[in-house]
């Protein structure tokens, strides 16, 4: 399962020489109001080593990274670099100490060009008082090539795909000659191939002596990439694993704090597929969706696999009325269905968990309860004629979902923007579990969600399907769909090119179908 990376943590696999300690953090604590995000964690990072950081949603991983980056201050603890104590009071101080960060919520300036973003905050060579962009471009070109960034340097950053945005950020780190690169869930929004390339870049960096701190919920990646791993649970470091101790079982145990039950195979398909809930014929909106036909049944979980950019999210938006199709028709339980807006779709019994939770899913300044109840308001008013909110109903319903999804939040009135990334995702899913539509479309439902909660979300999806709901799941993670779905469609360049059922639903079948060109 793990490759070369499982070699000894404190020594270089090639030369056998011990690796030098770059950064050490001890007893780091941080509380937000009453919430203890970190309660005295420790971490040691060595040159040329990829160090994994794992833990459930809200365990404190991003918080530690924000402290190292100088974005927030620790309440207690000690950080040393090359053995000397340091204080990191602002982001530019972190970067002067040789650290680069790629945060969970990517940061770049959309209106600036790629090259301006790469050089942001760095001294730039100038000629006659003007910044010499040509010289800069010449210097950067080999670095861009090394990471495989093919976009023109003058392109606006807003036009970048998520994968390209990551590459730009990595370039930035390389241009700065950083000694430590910190990545918070880098592959969460990348396709399989892009993720593969990123992993190769990370391996390359570590060979050249850069220390990497790598945060991920994907254990396969951690096992393949990391020389050593620290696990956080509830703001404490609970395990440091390396060498032979670094196994999937030990990781799971450290993250969840006990044994995790993986979903038994018979949990699925032990019920009959129901009647057709949604029928789609020739649906098209060029250039992303180019003639799609499929049927979705009550009681089934239908997976849509494929690469990022294959048109899957765009298809979901057409079905949900967020965009209007140019061609094609849909039927809902046998009746024509042409939603003019998401409002109309919701009224017809659909629900949708969008891909981008922060920009499309949540009102970040509002509370957990507010966000969860947004599609369920009709059920928590005292009467349709007098639409006053029944606050008791609102709280008890929200609490029930918070509990069943294990959302880590002090209470239901906490501002959603203060939750950790994975917990925010659970809130968006919780919204539709409350409303219980007839058809639920989920776009990347477990992005950034920890292993325990991921199993729980899968179980809930199976459960609502067993109750008769028709569920459509889009996922770029090839491992996710076979576990979860009754049937999988693979989309390539705006068309459905493959249907997989039963034994054929494997990771490999999805991946190879995704890369086959749409004939």
Partner 1 sequence: MTDISTSHRRLSPGTKAGLAFFARYATILGLIAMIVAFSLLSPRAFPTLLNFTNVLNQASLAIIIASGLTMAVIVGELDLSVGFAASLHGILVTGLIVATGLPIPVAILVVLAVGALVGLVNGLVVTKLKVNSVIATLGIGTILTGLAFAYSAGVPIVSGVPEAFLEISLGRWLWGIPNNIVVMAVVVVALWVLVERTSIGQEIQAVGGNPAAARLAGISVDRIKILGFVISGMCAALTGILLASRLGSGTASAADGYLLTAFAAVFLGSATLRDGEFHILGTVIGALVIAVGFNGLNIFGAPTFSQYMLQGGILIVAVGLSSLGRSIAER
Ligand X SMILES: Nc1ncnc2c1ncn2[C@@H]1O[C@H](COP(=O)(O)OP(=O)(O)OP(=O)(O)O)[C@@H](O)[C@H]1O
**Which residues in this chain contact Mg ion in the complex, by CB under 5 A?**
62, 104, 421
Q: Which stretch binds partner 1 (CB under 8 A): 209-217, 255-263, 347-355, 495-503?
A: 347-355
In sequence order, which ranges of 240-309 are alpha helices (DSSP H)? 248-252
Nearest distance from C-beta of residue 422 to ligand X, angstroms: 3
Please say which residue, 182 or 469, places its beta carbon nearer to Mg ion. 182
Measured CA to CA in angstroms, residue 470 lies from 53, 317, 499, 503 at distances of 37, 16, 17, 22
Measured CA to CA in angstroms, residue 11 lies from 4, 180, 212, 315 at distances of 13, 18, 15, 50
**Residue 408 touches which member of partner 1, Mg ion, ligand X, none, C-beta under 5-8 Å by kind:** ligand X
Sign of CA dihedral 57, 61, 66, 67: positive
Q: What DSSP element (H or E) covers 424?
A: helix 421-435
Q: How far apart are CA 317 and CA 304, in angstroms?
A: 14
Measured CA to CA in angstroms, residue 64 lies from 46, 91, 128 at distances of 17, 14, 43
Q: How far apart are CA 352 and CA 365, in angstroms?
A: 21
Sign of CA dihedral 391, 393, 394, 396: positive
361 counts as binding ligand X under rule CB under 6 A: no
Please say which residue, 179 or 408, places its beta carbon nearer to Mg ion. 408
**300 φ/ψ angles, rounded to the nearest 5 degrees:** -115, 155
Please say which residue, 37 or 316, places its beta carbon nearer to ligand X. 37
Interface pick for ligand X out of 12, 57, 189, 206 (rule CB under 6 A):
57
Interface pick for ligand X out of 48, 70, 361, 422 (rule CB under 6 A):
422
Strand pairing of 327-332 and 276-285? antiparallel
**Residue 361 touches which member of Mg ion, partner 1, ligand X, none, C-beta under 5-8 Å by kind:** partner 1
Site mask for partner 1 (CB under 8 A), range 107-136, x = bound: xxx-------x--xx---------------
Please, what's the b/e burial string for 253-263 (b: 16 or more CB within 10 A of its CB; e: otherwise)?
A: bbbbeeeeeee
Nearest distance from C-beta of residue 491 to Mg ion, angstroms: 29
269 counts as binding partner 1 under rule CB under 8 A: no
32 counts as binding ligand X under rule CB under 6 A: yes
Interface pick for partner 1 out of 299, 306, 311, 354 (rule CB under 8 A):
354
Q: What DSSP element (H or E) covers 95?
A: helix 91-96
Measured CA to CA in angstroms, residue 198 lies from 185, 190, 203, 385 at distances of 12, 9, 9, 56
362 counts as binding partner 1 under rule CB under 8 A: yes
Q: How far apart are CA 437 and CA 384, in angstroms?
A: 19
Q: What value, to the nearest 5°, has the Cα angle with vertex 311 and ends 309 and 316?
A: 130
Nearest distance from C-beta of residue 370 to partner 1, angstroms: 7
Strand pairing of 301-306 and 470-474? parallel
Please say which residue, 63 or 497, places its beta carbon nearer to ligand X. 63
Please tell me what DSSP assigns to residue 299.
T
**Residue 58 touches which member of Mg ion, partner 1, ligand X, none, C-beta under 5-8 Å by kind:** ligand X
Interface pick for partner 1 out of 137, 143, 175, 322 (rule CB under 8 A):
322
**Residue 55 touches which member of ligand X, partner 1, Mg ion, none, C-beta under 5-8 Å by kind:** ligand X
Nearest distance from C-beta of residue 478 to partner 1, angstroms: 26
Interface pick for partner 1 out of 71, 238, 267, 406 (rule CB under 8 A):
71
Q: Which stretch binds partner 1 (CB under 8 A): 138-146, 184-192, 207-215, 378-386?
A: 378-386
Q: How far apart are CA 308 and CA 179, in angstroms?
A: 31
248 counts as binding ligand X under rule CB under 6 A: no
Q: How far apart are CA 410 and CA 368, in angstroms?
A: 10
> Contact 69/88 with Cβ under 8 angstroms?
yes
Interface pick for partner 1 out of 76, 377, 516, 518 (rule CB under 8 A):
377
342 counts as binding partner 1 under rule CB under 8 A: yes
Nearest distance from C-beta of residue 449 to Mg ion, angstroms: 11
> Contact 292/280 with Cβ under 8 angstroms?
yes
Residues 78-97 binding partner 1 (CB under 8 A) are 89-92
Interface pick for partner 1 out of 150, 208, 259, 365 (rule CB under 8 A):
365
Residue ranges that bind partner 1, judged by CB under 8 A: 69-73, 89-92, 101, 103, 105-109, 117, 120-121, 320, 322, 341-343, 345-347, 352, 354, 359-366, 370, 373-375, 377-378, 380-381, 387-389, 431
Q: Which residues lie near ligand X (CB under 6 A)?
A: 32, 35, 37, 55, 57-63, 104, 408, 418-423, 448, 450
């Amino acid at each position: 399962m793990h490759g070369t990376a499982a070699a000894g943590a404190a020594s270089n696999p090639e030369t056998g020489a011990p690796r030098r300690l770059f950064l050490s953090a001890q007893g780091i604590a941080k509380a937000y109001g009453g919430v203890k995000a970190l309660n005295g964690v420790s971490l040691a990072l060595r040159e040329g080593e990829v160090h994994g950081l794992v833990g459930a949603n809200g365990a404190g991983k991003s918080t530690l990274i924000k402290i190292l980056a100088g974005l927030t201050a620790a309440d207690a603890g000690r950080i040393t670099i090359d053995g000397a104590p340091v204080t990191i009071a602002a982001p530019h101080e972190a970067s002067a100490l040789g650290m680069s960060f790629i945060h969970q919520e990517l940061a770049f300036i959309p209106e600036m060009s790629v090259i301006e973003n790469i050089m942001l905050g760095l001294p730039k060579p100038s000629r006659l008082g003007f910044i010499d962009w040509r010289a800069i471009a010449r210097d950067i070109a080999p670095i861009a090539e090394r990471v495989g960034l093919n976009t023109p340097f003058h392109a606006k950053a807003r036009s970048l795909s998520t994968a390209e945005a990551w590459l730009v950020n990595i370039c930035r780190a390389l241009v700065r000659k950083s000694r430590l690169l910190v990545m918070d869930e880098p592959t969460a929004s990348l396709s399989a191939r892009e993720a593969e390339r990123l992993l190769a870049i990370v391996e390359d960096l570590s060979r050249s002596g850069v220390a990497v701190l790598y945060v991920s919920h994907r254990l396969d990646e951690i096992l393949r990439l990391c020389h050593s791993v620290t696990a956080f649970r509830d703001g404490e470091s609970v395990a440091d694993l390396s060498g032979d101790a670094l196994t999937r079982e030990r990781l799971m145990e450290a993250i969840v704090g006990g044994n995790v039950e993986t979903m038994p195979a018979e949990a699925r398909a032990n019920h009959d597929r129901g009647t057709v809930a949604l029928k789609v014929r020739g649906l098209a909106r060029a250039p992303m969706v180019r003639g799609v036909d499929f049927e979705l049944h009550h009681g089934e979980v239908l997976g849509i696999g494929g690469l990022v950019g294959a048109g899957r999210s765009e298809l979901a938006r057409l079905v949900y009325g967020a965009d209007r199709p140019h061609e094609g028709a849909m039927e809902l339980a046998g009746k024509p269905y042409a939603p003019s807006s998401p409002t109309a779709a919701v009224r017809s019994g659909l629900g949708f968990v969008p891909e981008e939770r922060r920009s499309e899913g949540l009102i970040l300044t509002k509370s957990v309860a507010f966000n969860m109840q947004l599609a369920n308001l009709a059920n928590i008013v005292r009467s349709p004629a007098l639409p006053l909110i029944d606050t008791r109903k609102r709280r008890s319903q929200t609490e029930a979902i918070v509990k069943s999804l294990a959302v880590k939040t002090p209470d239901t009135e906490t501002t959603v923007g203060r939750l950790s990334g994975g917990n925010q995702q659970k809130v968006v899913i919780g919204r539709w579990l409350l409303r219980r539509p007839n058809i639920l479309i989920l776009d990347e439902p477990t992005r950034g969600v920890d292993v325990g909660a991921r199993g729980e979300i899968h179980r809930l999806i199976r459960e609502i399907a067993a109750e008769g709901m028709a569920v459509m799941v889009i996922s770029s993670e090839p491992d996710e769909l076979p576990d979860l779905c009754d049937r999988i469609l693979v989309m390539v360049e705006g068309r459905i090119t493959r249907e997989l059922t039963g034994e054929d639903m494997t990771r490999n079948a999805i991946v190879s179908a995704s890369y086959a060109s749409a004939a």
